[in-house]
Amino acid sequence: MTTPSPTPRTGRRPLALRVAVLREPVDPARIGRRVVRCRATGMDTGAVVGALDAAEFDVRQASRHEDLADDLRGPTELAEWERIEQMLAAAPPGTVYDPDTDPVVRAELAADAAAATAREAELRKAMRIAARADELQALR
């Protein structure tokens, strides 16, 4: 049995295939807000107050450590717990948190969708430019 010979590499790949994909940078504050919303889903006011107390304790403990001084996630999580607690306090008794009905979450999702559309348009434009550059290079 013979093994097939590898295909010879001829030339370079087209530039359009090498265009870097734009990636969204990591945002610890955004991650913190999403974690809080997931944990708070289905919680009533009492459970949210308990989680708020735990978040306050965590932020106090983290403030004592030098390496956590620039951490944005802890204070952001605390602020999100406070916002959810205020929202549930203003709601009728017995209301539980649901991120699908949260106006702040809806606004964030709309902004994310608009930003994704803009990034996709930029990527398509970059790919068109790269493809045109390849065509011009081939004609040269």
Beta-carbon-side half-sphere exposure of residue 45 (alpha carbons within 13 Å): 10
What pLDDT, in 10s, does the model give residues 44-60? 999 999 999 999 998 88
- Distance between CA atoms of 95 and 85, rounded to whole angstroms? 11
What pLDDT, in 10s, does the model give residues 60-105? 888 888 777 778 888 899 999 999 999 999 999 889 999 999 999 9
- Where do we find the tokens 């549930």? 88
86 lies in the same domain as 31: yes
Would you tell me how many other CB atoms lie within 10 Å of the CB of residue 81?
24
Task: Give 101's DSSP letter.
Answer: G
What is the per-residue pLDDT for 4?
63
Q: Which residue range(s) make up the domain with 109?
A: 102-140
Residue 116 placed within a domain: yes
- Distance between CA atoms of 113 and 121, rounded to whole angstroms? 12
- How far CA 14 is from CA of 22, 123, 135, in Å, comes to 19, 16, 9
Residue 12 placed within a domain: no
